[in-house]
Structure 1
Amino acid sequence: MNHLGILAHSAEGASLCFQEFCRLGGQLGPHEHPDVSLDCIAMARSMPLWDSGDHVGIREILAESVRRLDRAGADFFVCPDNTAHMALEAPGDAFPIPGLHLPEVVAERAARDGRGRVGVMGTRYLMDGPLYPRALGKRGIEAELPGPDDRALINRVIFDELVNGVFTDESRAEFVRIIRGLAARGCDAVALVCTEIPLLVSPDDSPLPTLDSTRLLAAAAMDVALEKAPLPQWRGGPFG
């Protein structure tokens, strides 16, 4: 079995990925799962750099976590933070261990499910960025974004509430309203690509089928850990 390293950027999303990975390990037997290590440098170190657009600076912070995971014995890593992949793709030295690319994992599942137009909900950095239009687009899937006011609301809830472990009925109702609007615009699924959103909006809550990036990543990591899928090749920088 391969040893998984989880590169945490925000605690809530990384914790969910860790818990889901360990839960999936139950297929091996009671209390079983492949080895897993988690490393987390406080997101406060990166937030000013996100606001200034310094992806190279953020990459160096995240790279330190990858180096520590390598020293812990991890064979590969995942980062359960979609927005962080904008920084992981920035120029820099190759990471010492390879990683799964989260937007590619989500887009591949959308393609397997036969989706044609997918709503994208995440941080403002992600929704304004190229990751999901590119990953979905190369599979012939359209990416649909909420309107500007709703993007601002989603971003506020993520950073004021979700990353701090706050999940309210009011915010859930607003997210469901936004998903309903995406459905009205022809979306046949919604990608929950802030890894904390699945803690707020369950599949039962959503008017559309959900692409839960956190749990999809954990499942893909389990396949690699159990050698059902090959070790990834990506070591940072532009994907592909």
Structure 2
Amino acid sequence: MIGGTSWHSTIEYYRLLNQLAGERIGADQNPPLLLYSLNIKLMREQNLKAINSAYLEIAKKLEAAGAGAIIICANTPHMVYRYVQPKINIPILHIADAVGIEAQKKGYKRLGLLGNKPTMTKGFLQNRLKDIYKIEVIIPEDEYLDDCHGFVSKELTQGKFTDEARTFFLKQLENLQQKGADAIIMGCTELPILIPQDKTSIPLLETTDLHAQMAVDFIFEDED
């Protein structure tokens, strides 16, 4: 597990991994996990070369420590996948694959995407979903992108969940549905905390839950 971006999301990942594993092996047990938590300051500086270098170094440390796979505990750091994956010998479980598999099961062809600005605009989720799963991804209008980013980076990743943010993102959900989205990718780990499924009728694909399930499936794949 590579966490820290943010530590709030890392807690959710750790909780889910243990909870889902407990459903298979009993609540009195838990799976062995390795966690490296980095400083979120690295991501906020937006120096891609430094980010790639740090994630590669961490991935190699986890591999050397005995990890059989790596799960990056947030959406945005998956921008490092294409750089890091070819340089290590264990798989990185890509969050877009978790979303794509679930979307195919549900028959979704067009998905809205909410998250911070890099997640929505850099293409590392959209391109993988399009190339592998033939799923189109749409994002909010340009006029809303900075506000999306501001709420995520200045509030949600710092554990602040305000009514203003909730109202804003509920409106974005509606806008994306009106543009033809079958469901919405909650592309920030904290977004489902702000707006759980029971607060909207629009189908939500919660990347954290789906990604954690993928990781647990990997842990137990030899037993299935």
TM-score (norm 1): 0.85
Does structure 2 conserve the Cα–Cα contact (< 8 Å) formed by 1:223 and 1:229? no
- Give the match's secondary structure for 1:149: helix
**1:30: how far off?**
2.2
The answer for unaligned runs of 5 or more in structure 1 is: 1-5, 231-240
| Aligned-residue CA RMSD (Å) | 2.0
From 179, 185, 197, the equivalent of 1:185 is: 179
Alignment match, 2:219: 225
Alignment match, 1:29: 26
From 132, 142, 149, the equivalent of 2:136 is: 142
Q: For the structure 1 residues 14 and 229, does the alpha-carbon distance in structure 2 shift closer, same or farther, using more than 3 Å as the test?
A: farther
- Give the match's secondary structure for 2:149: helix
Alignment match, 2:121: 128
From 70, 77, 80, the equivalent of 1:77 is: 70
CA distance in 2, matches of 1:196, 1:41: 18
- Residue 85 of structure 2 is aligned to residue 88 of structure 1: no
- Give the match's secondary structure for 1:118: strand
Alignment match, 2:95: 102
From 33, 55, 59, the equivalent of 1:62 is: 55
Higher fraction of helix:
2
> What count of residue pairs does the alignment treat as equivalent?
221
Higher relative contact order (CA 8 A, sep 6+): 1
The answer for unaligned runs of 5 or more in structure 2 is: none
CA distance in 1, matches of 2:206, 2:139: 16
Which residue type is aligned with residue 7 of structure 1?
A: I
**1:92: how far off?**
8.2
- Residue 157 of structure 2 is aligned to residue 163 of structure 1: yes
CA distance in 1, matches of 2:161, 2:105: 31
Does structure 2 conserve the Cα–Cα contact (< 8 Å) formed by 1:117 and 1:141? yes
CA distance in 2, matches of 1:119, 1:20: 24
